[in-house]
Amino acid sequence: MSINVEPIESGSVIDHIKAGRGLKVLRILGISEEFTGRVALVMNVTSKAMGKKDIVKIEGIHIDEKTADKISLIAPNASLNIVKNSKVVEKRKVVMPEVLIGVAKCPNPKCISSFESSETRFKVEKMGLRCAFCERVFQPEELLS
Amino acid sequence: MKKKDLISIRDLGKDEIENLFSLAKKMEGAAKSGKKFFNDKIVFNLFFEPSTRTNLSFQAAAARLGCTPVAFNPQVGSVQKGETFSDTIKIIDGYCDVIVIRHALEGSARFASQIAEHPVINAGDGGNQHPTQTLIDLYTISKIKGKIKGLSVHLVGDLKHARAMRSLLYGLGMFGAEVTLTAPVGLEMDPAIINEVKEKFGTKIRLTGKVDLKDADVLYVCRVQKERFADPYEAEKIKKEFRINPEYLERAKDDMIILHPLPKIDEIPEEVDKSKHAKYFEQARNGIPIRMAVLYTVLGGSGA
| SS3 sequence of chain A | CCCCCCCCCCEEEEEEEECCCHHHHHHHCCCCCCCCCCEEEEEEEEECCCEEEEEEEEECCCCCHHHHHHHHHHCCCCEEEEEECCEEEEEEECCCCCEEECCCCCCCCCEHHHCCCCCCEEEEECCEEEECCCCCEECHHHHHC
DSSP H helical segments within chain B, as ranges?
14-33, 53-65, 85-93, 108-115, 131-145, 163-174, 191-201, 232-241, 246-250, 270-273, 280-285, 287-298
B56/chain A closest Cα distance in angstroms: 25
- Using the 3D structure, point to which of A93, A111, A129 is the last residue of a domain: A93
For B239-292, the pLDDT digits (tens) are 888 999 898 999 999 999 999 999 898 899 999 999 999 999 999 999 999 999
Same domain, A104 and A128: yes
Domain with A24 in it:
11-93
Do B84 and A116 lie within an 8 Å CB cutoff? yes
**Which SS3 state, helix, strand or coil, does residue B229 take?**
coil
In this structure, are A23 and A76 located in the same domain? yes
The 10 Å Cβ neighbour count of residue A20 is 13
Q: Where are the domains of chain B?
A: 2-129+287-298, 131-284
Interchain proximity A134–B195, CB inside 8 Å? no
Test the B interface: residue of A101, A112, A127, A139 with most B CBs within 10 Å: A112
pLDDT recorded at residue B222: 92
Q: How many CB atoms lie within 10 A of CB B70?
A: 15
A6 located within any domain: no
Catalytic residues of B: 53-54, 81, 102, 130
Same domain for A17 and A72, yes or no, is yes
Q: What's the CA angle centered on A77, arms A76 and A82, to 5 degrees?
A: 110
How buried is residue B39: exposed, middle or buried, by Cβ count under 10 Å (0-12/13-18/19+)? exposed
The radius of gyration of chain A's CA atoms, rounded to the nearest angstrom, is 16
Does residue A5 lie in a domain region? no
Total residues belonging to chain B:
304
ipTM of the predicted assembly exceeds 0.85: yes
Which of B106, B108, B192 is facing A137, going by the closest CB pair? B192
Which positions in chain A touch B105 (Cβ < 8 Å)? 110-112, 115
User: Which chain A residues are closer than 8 Å to B114 by Cβ?
Assistant: 118
* Candidates B103, B106, B114; nearest CB to A108: B106
Total tally of structural domains belonging to chain A:
2
Return the residue of B nearest to A114 by Cα.
B105
Measured between alpha carbons, how far is A113 from A122 in angstroms, rounded to an integer? 11
Question: Are A121 and A85 in a shared domain?
Answer: no
Q: How confident is the model at residue B108 (pLDDT cuts 50, 70, 90)?
A: very high
CATH code, A108? 2.30.30.20
Q: Which amino acid is at B45?
A: N
Quote the minimal CA–CA distance from A70 to chain B in Å: 23
Specify the fold of B2-129+287-298: Rossmann fold (3.40.50)
Kindly state whether residue A137 falls inside one of the protein's structural domains: yes
Mean of pLDDT values over B39-60: 94
- A78 close to A14: Cβ distance less than 8 angstroms: yes
Average pLDDT over residues B166-192: 96
Classified as helix, coil or strand, B219 is: strand
SS3 content of chain B, % helix, strand, coil (to 5): 45, 15, 40
Lowest mean pLDDT, pick from A128-132, B74-78, B155-159, B224-228: B74-78
Residue A3 lies in a domain: no
Closest partner residue to B85 among A108, A110, A116, by Cβ?
A116
- Would you call B105 and A108 a contact, using CB atoms and an 8 Å cutoff? no
Cβ(B46)–Cβ(B100) below 8 Å? yes
- State how far residue A113 is from chain B, nearest Cα, in angstroms: 8
Classify domain B131-284 at the CATH topology level.
Rossmann fold (3.40.50)
Residue A16 resides in a domain: yes
Whether B49 has its CB under 8 Å from any CB of chain A: the answer is: no
Residue type, position B100, single letter = V
The enclosing domain of A41 has a CATH number of 3.30.70.140
Residue B179, pLDDT > 80, answer: yes
Average pLDDT across chain A, whole number: 92
A54 and A26 both lie in a single domain: yes
Mean pLDDT of chain B: 93
CB of B102 closer than 8 Å to CB of B96: no
- Residue B15 DSSP SS3: helix
> Which residues of chain A are at the B interface, by a Cβ-Cβ cutoff of 8 Å?
106, 108, 110-113, 115-116, 118, 126-127, 131-137
For testing contact with chain A, the best of B5, B110, B120, B161 (most A CBs within 10 A): B110
Q: Do domains B2-129+287-298 and B131-284 have the same CATH topology?
A: yes
Pick B111's closest partner by Cβ from A112, A135, A137: A112
Work out the pLDDT band at A145, boundaries 50, 70, 90. Answer: low
Q: How are beta strands B42-47 and B120-125 bridged, if at all? A: unpaired
Query: Is residue A2 assigned to a domain?
Result: no
The answer to whether B78 faces chain A, any CB pair under 8 Å, is no
